[in-house]
Structure 1
């Protein structure tokens, strides 16, 4: 029974993000990327969806809530190592509390990641999300060098558009539309929740027409939430119940508010002027300190104090949470002492990196990896050589910043550092813990639907049988069929890539008649009160809007 990693339950070969260390691995990048592309920032468009998706997960946990959860995991881990039965019971309470939050917010986390993957584009706002920054740095370098006179937003928009209009991306979107709403990971439920909120909120909050800003804001709304941090750091007698009720209410209330102008403007100003103190250990969460009149100043300071007082071994884990591990390519590392002491890294027999040997490394080389690592706190990046997961050389892009080099010394690119506290408790306590854990997890999964449902299904009529869609084992795919689901995904992609414009104009498809497909989609969805596609004919063509 292993549930140590939030986004890759059981340790499959997929991309994954670990809750404690915030270590992230973007699996598809290894298949798409050559070393030179990785080193020089020319990741191909096929790798961009995974890059956006996992960077979104990483950003969501690089927050006060993510840090609070990490502190609880560290505390639980130490309690598990104790032989005292009472300490083990305390560890169980902590683990169940952590999983309550993660399972309740899991559809939200996946919805935010899918929204970043499918829909976000540069807009008129002043901020750039971590996901967009990762794509800009790692996938547009060649375009920017060839056309330096073109603004970086144009290059970024071009790369995102090319990626989303690819057949692979459209098929991926169609697959998401065919996932049941009751799927345990909550992909479609969360995606509908996030996208519907942005659609309705942007009607009264012009700043939220910037889809990248909307995703960034919503992430911080839920995960820079000091009310939740307070509950995590100051638990009552029944924390799982308290935490579920709190998260449930937050999710349920999101749809009740339509005008977010004041909150979004305040958020943008706070992050734009960079009120984050990077000299503070907890500053790596990238969250500005609340204003003095805020009731959460004390909670912010409590979190800072807990991190500053952490032992060195804990601080090493918390400090490197800002490092985003993007990819890892196998290389052969050879030490050469002729003409100087150097390390040569070769990929498939071809040297791809020649670097001076650092004084800290005394080995002769061998099998290793070439890794790309970002520091999301300082917006820095590095190409590193590793042996057995340990960094032996790092080429940091911006050498003026000391923070990334500091945490890279303790960085581990292997998965050995992932802390499987659930598996450890299961092994130590046995069936009694397994039963309690399953009961809490199943109760949360069963109860969270009611929190997401009002907003996720706000597009549907009040009298239609929602359950017939919710219970469909293939989501929208079960209603539309495979061909119309693909057409729906294609129309949604067209809408998404044109998000910066007032209207997204329909493009011709060699595969199908999109106008005819749009009418067929609406006919199939009409009994459920859902108009999937809105077409408007104008002098310069037909525009399209989709709700998902």
Structure 2
């Protein structure tokens, strides 16, 4: 099983997390370092989806679920309205997927705290969740003197100079370029091309955390994109084409940006960024002026998103079933703030002494000793039954929580971090079984696909899903090769489409392997002598690699490694 974050519910699944083996560590919220790369990757997806654009796409899919349910019971329901929701949501997801994967790979493989002291949400969460051998670097004295960056750099240095991360980076570099295969390479090359462009014109852009946070906000906090996604004047394919064109225009703006002036303004406005709180939950809110979005378009997007949210509270429902589904979707929107780090199904007992005892489901029962025992919440009845333990991160609050649930009721909860009582009470009502939420989501997907499959709209959807990937590939082939010499771009694009990055590197597996090592270690040190030592320990001749890199750049335009006196800079 692979790790992933569902973009609709923002529910995370970390395949490396096994609460049966590490329950106590996770309850203490002291994560093992081996989980760091996966956590940075998946929590970046979570941060992207917890945004105006992410909320819009989630609400469209939820409404599609409700409309598909109506079609199963009411043959007169409007199937073309269902198609509109599906095409807009799926089309936008397809166009943004490489960008989302690029941001996630950048967080996992490149980003480190810089001089601006700006941290992305995933990096700030990393500070709270990971301790291990560097726990002393979290002391009040160290934090006051150096900030969180001192601890984070030490943690990231070990990760980025480890063979496991070399292999993860190598897998990205060896991936297919085409979006139909996930889009990791296309998105990653786009992010690295954009970063190289930004660093040439602004010293501020060398701060990878600042750069990453800006790019994520530029796209996912863009109410202009929300306005385009929900534009009622466009229909079906025209709506999807307009959304794709808008994203292309936004991408083009980035490559021609005055990065120094823009990042300075972003730093000034960043203190004002936060979350708009509705009765329906929290939605990320960008800086007051937006990022290159005029006020009228921004206000239009906010209004359209608010209207979509308001449907969940509309008392005029055609049926009790519809009302129930809207209430469930309302809870989903509120729960999208939560990042569930792990979930374990258990047998839960609440005894007469107000204690909660948990037992594993596997093995003979009753057992003599529980695996964990804690104080029950006030008012919890004595009883036992199936339940679960959930471990949560609340990024918007810089806080964490663990909860024990029995039969849908929270019987124990523990919070850590600067979260007030009102918010604790709010989230306590939302905690529940992740496995149950994923099961319901799977059922709704099946109902949706069945409803479409039995309708004439199936042809239109199938046609869109066939044609969209080619347009996405074309978009990212341009952005990935933007820094190539003009006369070499056509050749580079054809090679990328044919066989990915390997085709541009003469299918030299040793070079790709060496590039993965140099790029990973190069994210935490640019000193030639230090990189040569790390390379030598891994059986790599760094100088021979530089010679091959220069040869490839002259022939294909692909820039991978640069040397400046005693500095080595990896551009991919």
In the superposition, the TM-score normalised over structure 1's length comes to 0.87
1: CA distance, partners of 2:425 / 2:285: 18
Structural mapping, 1:70-469, within 5 Å: 70-82=58-70, 83-140=74-131, 143-145=134-136, 148=139, 149-151=141-143, 152-184=148-180, 185-251=182-248, 252-274=251-273, 276-278=275-277, 281=280, 283-288=282-287, 290=289, 294-295=295-296, 296-304=298-306, 306-307=308-309, 310-311=312-313, 312-329=327-344, 331-337=346-352, 340-345=353-358, 353-359=372-378, 361-362=380-381, 364-365=383-384, 368-387=387-406, 391-398=410-417, 399-412=419-432, 413-414=434-435, 415-418=438-441, 423-430=446-453, 432-464=456-488, 465-469=491-495
Shift of residue 19 of structure 1? 2.4
RMSD: 3.1
Matched residue SS, 1:59: helix
Q: Is the 8 A contact 1:334 1:365 kept in 2?
A: yes
Q: Is the 8 A contact 2:137 2:151 kept in 1?
A: no
Shift of residue 287 of structure 1? 3.7
Between 409-418 and 217-226, report the one with greater CA deviation. 409-418
Shift of residue 318 of structure 1? 1.1
Between 451-460 and 172-181, report the one with greater CA deviation. 451-460
1: CA distance, partners of 2:421 / 2:398: 10
1: CA distance, partners of 2:9 / 2:518: 38
* Unpaired segments ≥5 residues, structure 1: 1-12
Q: Is the 8 A contact 2:121 2:395 kept in 1?
A: yes
Q: Is the 8 A contact 1:504 1:544 kept in 2?
A: no
Kindly tell me the number of residue pairs found equivalent between the two proteins.
529
Q: Is the 8 A contact 1:107 1:187 kept in 2?
A: yes
Q: Is the 8 A contact 1:204 1:258 kept in 2?
A: no
2: CA distance, partners of 1:313 / 1:73: 13
CA 1:353 to 1:272, structure 2 compared with 1: closer, same or farther past 3 Å? Answer: farther
User: After superposition, what is the alpha-carbon deviation per residue over 1:280-331, rounded to whole angstroms, capped at 9, x for unaligned?
Assistant: 6554424455579821224324433543563244321211111111122455
Q: Is the 8 A contact 1:316 1:407 kept in 2?
A: no
Between 248-257 and 147-156, report the one with greater CA deviation. 248-257
CA 1:462 to 1:298, structure 2 compared with 1: closer, same or farther past 3 Å? Answer: closer
1: CA distance, partners of 2:138 / 2:4: 35
1: CA distance, partners of 2:547 / 2:386: 57
2: CA distance, partners of 1:306 / 1:502: 54
Q: Is the 8 A contact 1:26 1:50 kept in 2?
A: yes
Q: Is the 8 A contact 2:481 2:493 kept in 1?
A: no
Q: Which residue in the other structure is 1:61 paired with?
A: 49
Between 473-482 and 118-127, report the one with greater CA deviation. 473-482
1: CA distance, partners of 2:477 / 2:9: 32
Q: Which residue in the other structure is 1:483 paired with?
A: 510
* Unpaired segments ≥5 residues, structure 2: 314-326
Please state which structure has a larger fraction of its residues in helix.
Answer: 2
1: CA distance, partners of 2:532 / 2:142: 26
2: CA distance, partners of 1:335 / 1:513: 62
Shift of residue 417 of structure 1? 3.9
Q: Is the 8 A contact 2:274 2:284 kept in 1?
A: no
Shift of residue 210 of structure 1? 1.3
In the superposition, the TM-score normalised over structure 2's length comes to 0.83
CA 1:241 to 1:503, structure 2 compared with 1: closer, same or farther past 3 Å? Answer: farther
2: CA distance, partners of 1:433 / 1:502: 59
